[in-house]
Structure 1
Amino acid sequence: MPTGQPTPTTPARSPSLPNKIQNTRSLNEQAIVGREKLRGHFAMILFAVLISASFSFGALAAPHIDAGALSASRFVLASIVMFLIAFFTRVPLTQNRKFLPASPHRFLILGSLMGVYFVTMFEALKIASPVSTGAVFTLMPLISAGFGVVFLAQHVSFRMLVSLLIAAAGAVWVIFRGDLEALLSFNIGTGEAIFFIGVVCHGAYAPLVRKLNRGEPVVQFSFWTLAACAAVLAVYGAWGIVSTDWLNLPAVVYWAGLYLTIFTTALTFFLLQYASLRLPASKVMSYGYLTPSFIILIEGFSGRGWVNPSVALGALVTVLALLVLAFAKEDRI
């Protein structure tokens, strides 16, 4: 083993470790620069777009099906999609031909966190608007940064902290629907409160991905996380799954389920885990700042109504916070 400190452009390697593990170690310990850094940012921009649309699709499907049943079914289908991706790209799902991955409890932890997030999301969308739930989602970067400090001892710069607080202020304004009286009396809706629990779980997810990853390829890691989440949700939503008349649901449930399965389950899991290995946890989730603005546009152009200017201003504040964070020199993960 070399005794000197590795430079950012020439990370140290050990002949005793496989290349994939070494590559992951260099990502975890070095400043991410160049193309890898840009790919992480582009992955999260796409993530934000897909997540934003999921709130509108979820709001359409939520009244017609049990939250646990819908969440479990989409994760089962997403696991199949990821399995097919692994099959056609020839990525092995386990090492050394074992039936299960090493330390499968890692994936049970991650799957449980995401399961709570998605169940609370659909329960919240039954009684809260997509815009307000999307605003709660923008609190995630601040929460994720906190978990990054706890789990990974990550440093949060002053500029990054300021941007996180600005975004949180904008999100809170949207959550309270631009009503100063409701804000002062802390009159938060039940749906927003329910979803906040899920957002806390999702905030812990990003830093835990890096902490629990052992050098597995992203496709392999994503598959086992999806499968674990599907298993957890199948247990939670067992009654809803059995009692749902799957052949006679409204068409909107099938279309929404298809979108949620392919784009905001399989693909976003891949994007989130890809970016989590290349960017700080707070920056990974900072792209959630874009969700209220995207949701406002989606809801407005789809004919479901526009928010009042005061609420739109709160969403704009979160976007400005993202711009501040983008220039924060906090690229060490």
Structure 2
Amino acid sequence: MPSARAAHLGMLVWAALVGLSFPVVGWLGELPPLSLTALRFAIACLGLAPLIRRVPGFWPGWRALPWFAAMGLCLAGFFGAMFWAAHHATALSMATLYVTVPLLAYAMGLGLGVERRSWRLPGILALGALGALGLALAEAVTGDGAWRLGRGEAVFFLGCLCSALYPVLSKRGLGAGRLPASAAVRTFWSLALGGALIGLAGLALEPVTRLTTMTWRDGLLIVYLGLCSSALTFWLMQRATAVLTPGAITAYGYLVPFVSMLLLFVEAPSRLGWAWLPGSALVLLAIALLRRHDAPAPRRTD
């Protein structure tokens, strides 16, 4: 089991990888999103296989399969929505919508008994959400200034609901003794079952033959997304689940629009301005308070 400090550091890496994935998805061609998600999950499982083949308890047992199926559906719902919305919404607007996930996860966690009722964590989450909204306002001020809720944003918000439920189910399953202790095993089976389910949906609903139009560049991007933005990010999340609550884990989503903002400045330095400062400061303050909130209490020496 990792320490709280190691879990927080891992989630910082998670935030960077997730923030980078939004523009990468936008670089892909118009490919069927469900089939593309299934392919991405399959690549992630292949990457995880060498890590778990010698882990005791690789086969989790039949009691765990319903949990993994539900977790897999959450992953499939999020990534399917992300692939589809990537061509109907901007990368920064998707990253900004993603900041609803921590508050959603906290509310779901309260309902399933894996979060404690308190004022500090919701306050930190609200502070981070306010900072993320500040980043969205800065995008409107420095960009075209158009605020709208289109189909792309609506579909992606449904994906955010799925994303919020994933760590809640993981924490609940661990607490109930239904899920294995290994983070790699939990990641592998949730991705495997999620990929199988979304693949079947893709066969039924999409023109799978369009995958033959994939270029070598698309292929490289899918391999990167499968290994780094699926296998690694969800392993980091599962690893943190052992010591952090769902609200604390998903709070690192507040750094995602911050990463997207930094990428935007690289692509368009002329958009750099003071409008981005308030939101950025609030997001960074929320993450600092979160780490302090989950820091272990000092030992008494008397």
Flag whether TM exceeds 0.5 (same fold).
Answer: yes
Alignment partner, residue 66 of structure 1: 32
Q: What aligned pairs does 1:297-316 form with structure 2 within 5 A after superposition?
A: 297-302=262-267, 306=271, 309-310=274-275, 313-316=278-281
Alignment partner, residue 325 of structure 1: 290
Shift of residue 101, structure 1, vs aligned partner: 4.2
1:105 equivalent to 2:66? Answer yes
Shift of residue 298, structure 1, vs aligned partner: 2.2
TM-score (norm 1): 0.78
Identity in percent: 23
Supply the AA of the counterpart residue of 2:163: H
Shift of residue 252, structure 1, vs aligned partner: 3.1
Is 2:114–2:171's contact at 8 Å kept on the other side of the alignment? no
Residues 88-141 of structure 1: CA distance to partner in whole angstroms, max 9, x if unpaired?
x4444215xxxx543311111000011111111111211211111111112211
Supply the AA of the counterpart residue of 2:91: P
Distance in 1, matches of 2:237 and 2:83, equals 20
Q: What aligned pairs does 1:261-300 form with structure 2 within 5 A after superposition?
A: 261-300=226-265
Alignment partner, residue 106 of structure 2: 145
Shift of residue 324, structure 1, vs aligned partner: 2.6
1:39 equivalent to 2:9? Answer no
Q: Kindly report the root-mean-square deviation, in angstroms, between the aligned alpha carbons of the 2 structures.
A: 2.7
Unpaired segments of 5 or more residues in structure 2?
Answer: 298-302
Larger radius of gyration: 1
**Higher deviation after alignment, 207-216 or 260-269:** 207-216
Alignment partner, residue 202 of structure 1: 163
Distance in 1, matches of 2:280 and 2:88, equals 21
- Which secondary structure does the structure 2 equivalent of 1:127 belong to? coil
Normalized per residue, which structure has more helix? 2
Q: 1:305 to 1:179 in 2, by over 3 A?
A: closer
TM-score (norm 2): 0.85
Structure 1 residue ranges, 4+ long, deviating more than 6 angstroms after superposition: none
Q: 1:174 to 1:223 in 2, by over 3 A?
A: same
Q: Which residue of 164, 183, 190 maps to 2:125?
A: 164
Tell which has more relative contact order, 1 or 2 (C-alpha 8 A, sep 6+).
2
Residues 176-232 of structure 1: CA distance to partner in whole angstroms, max 9, x if unpaired?
66559xxxx974343222211111111111121011133512222221111111011
Shift of residue 323, structure 1, vs aligned partner: 2.1
Figure out how many residues of one structure are paired with residues of the other and give that number: 288
